[in-house]
Amino acid sequence: MGRVIAVANQKGGVGKTTTAINLASSFAAAEVNTLLVDCDPQSNASSGLGLVKDPERISTYHLLMGATSAEEALKTTVLKQLWIIPAHKNLIGANIELVDAERREFRLKDALAPIRDRYQFVVLDCPPALDLLTLNALVAADAVLIPMQAEYFALEGISELLDTVERIRASFNPDLAIEGVVLTMFDDRTNLAQQVTAELKRYFGDKLCATTIPRNIRLAEAPSHGKAALSYDIKSRGAESYMNLAKEIISHQLSVKEMAAAAAAARTSQRTVVVVNDPAAPETPTEVAAATIEQPAAAEPGQATTAESQAAEPIQPLPTETSVEEIRTEEPAPSPVEEIQGEQPAGEAGQAVVEEIQSEEPAEVPVEEMDKSA
């Protein structure tokens, strides 16, 4: 989905329209599909890209009033990958006509939703006021780019704009971010410019764009020819500055996407670990097959499986067999002689043995019986 950037500052004369035209053109020159939406009733962004004023032409006014679709309002430009939805002075009437309208703050967001995926960047040129037109642009935007001069009055105006951004976040668009603050018509030779830059750097930090737009006569001449600065004089300092600004924003978006992809990958890996470790999680066919091969069939209730029995109790020898270990460990039973010797004194033991031997000898057969048998 394309990133929608609103170029807004309620203070006039700070270079909003010049920034919107040349930033969108620089995106297109970088071979990125870009849409420029003119939300200013003065319609300077439209004339700055060569579109003559035509009251019969479909404009942003018809888009906000729901009389047409964004597809019908699209117009091509000299640059191949840049499209524009032009504005007309009738757009000033939308501030009054939309007062009682339903979802009046979301009219522009709803109108751009069907074509937003076609473009990597959608640039909204806002009027120099905090009216309903600017409100629609900020509600439809993902981020706001604030062009400003390095002057005291510009510092006062930016504080009011930031307060408006906070109110919009609280009520309509909580994801609205600050794309950056870009210094326009910048002259770094003056002490005032350096002091204002230091103050903005202290307050905004990395949100202050590293690229500054210098005062350049080519930037002022290009709109009178209906061209962007890079089409009018690509080697001018102004054209080079806006191309550098486009590169800075594109690189920032790429880094944000990479961080988001890394975070999504980390969340996916965490969910995978939870699924593997969760015993109640459904098993895949591979896991079921592995479990079927590795595990024996379930035993009847009240009986233990063979593997469980072997793991729980040692193997008992059969009553009729004696294990080799038991034979080796058992000592031979003491003989009767040793028992007698252990129980009787040494003198009596020998006599007892003799008597036992004599009692075991067979009785002598009389001679008479031997003769009879012969």
* Residue 157 domain boundaries: 3-246
Q: Where are the alpha helices (DSSP H) in 172-236?
A: 191-204, 217-221, 229-232
Write out pLDDT tens, residues 111-169: 999 999 999 999 999 999 889 999 999 999 999 999 999 888 878 878 888 898 999 99
Q: Specify if 114 maps to a domain.
A: yes
- In contact, 122 and 143? CB cutoff 8 Å: no
- Percent of all residues in the chain with a pLDDT value above 90, rounded to a whole number: 54
pLDDT tens digit string along 158-193? 888 889 899 999 999 999 999 999 999 999 889 999
Q: Do the domain assignments include residue 146? A: yes
Q: What is the distance of C-alpha 361 from the center of its chain?
A: 104
Residue-wise pLDDT for 332-364, tens only, equals 444 443 443 444 444 444 444 434 444 444 444
For residue 271, the model assigns a pLDDT of 63
Taking residues 287-306, report their average pLDDT. Answer: 44
Domain assignment of residue 330, yes or no: no
**Residue 361 located in a structural domain:** no
Residue 214 lies in a domain: yes
- Predicted pLDDT at 85: 97
Query: Could you say which DSSP state residue 4 is in?
Result: E
| Percent of the chain predicted with pLDDT > 70 | 70
* Residue-level pLDDT at 357: 40
Statement: residue 231 has pLDDT above 70 = yes
Band of residue 210 on the pLDDT scale cut at 50, 70, 90: very high
Q: What is the per-residue pLDDT for 276?
A: 47
In the predicted structure, residue 12 carries a pLDDT above the cut 70: yes
pLDDT at 98 > cutoff 50: yes
Q: What is the largest CA-CA distance in the chain?
A: 166
Q: Are 6 and 145 in contact (CB under 8 A)?
A: yes
Q: How much is the mean pLDDT over the chain?
A: 78
Beta strands in the chain (DSSP E): 3-7, 34-38, 75-76, 82-85, 121-125, 143-148, 177-183
Q: Kindly report the CA angle at 106 between 103 and 112, in degrees rounded to 5?
A: 135
Which whole number is the average pLDDT over 74-98? 93
267 pLDDT band (50/70/90 cuts)? confident
State residue 141's pLDDT score. Answer: 97
Q: In degrees rounded to 5, what are phi and psi of residue 6?
A: -95, 125
- For residue 230, pLDDT beyond 50: yes
pTM above 0.85, yes or no: no
- More confident call, 311 vs 222: 222
**pLDDT tens digits for 16-37?**
999 999 999 999 999 999 999 9
pLDDT at 328 > cutoff 80: no
Contact 33, 117 (CB under 8 A): no
- How many domains does the structure of the chain reveal? 1
- Mean pLDDT over 3-16 rounds to 93
Task: List the CATH number of the domain containing 216.
Answer: 3.40.50.300
Q: Which residue has the higher pLDDT, 208 or 306?
A: 208
pLDDT the model gives residue 266: 75
Cα 213 to Cα 71: distance, rounded to the nearest angstrom: 33
321: its two tokens: 């067999």
Q: Which of the four pLDDT bands, split at 50, 70 and 90, describes residue 67?
A: very high
Instruction: Answer yes or no: is 144 within a domain.
Output: yes
Residue 45 has pLDDT above 70, yes or no: yes
If one compares 109 and 292, the residue with the highest pLDDT of the two is 109
| Residue 362 placed within a domain | no
**Mean pLDDT score, 73-102:** 93
pLDDT surpasses 50 at 287: no
Whether residue 224 is predicted with pLDDT greater than 90 in this model: the reply is yes
The residue with greater pLDDT, 62 or 326, is: 62
Considering the domain boundaries, does residue 329 fall inside one? no
**Average pLDDT for residues 237-265, to the nearest whole number?**
84
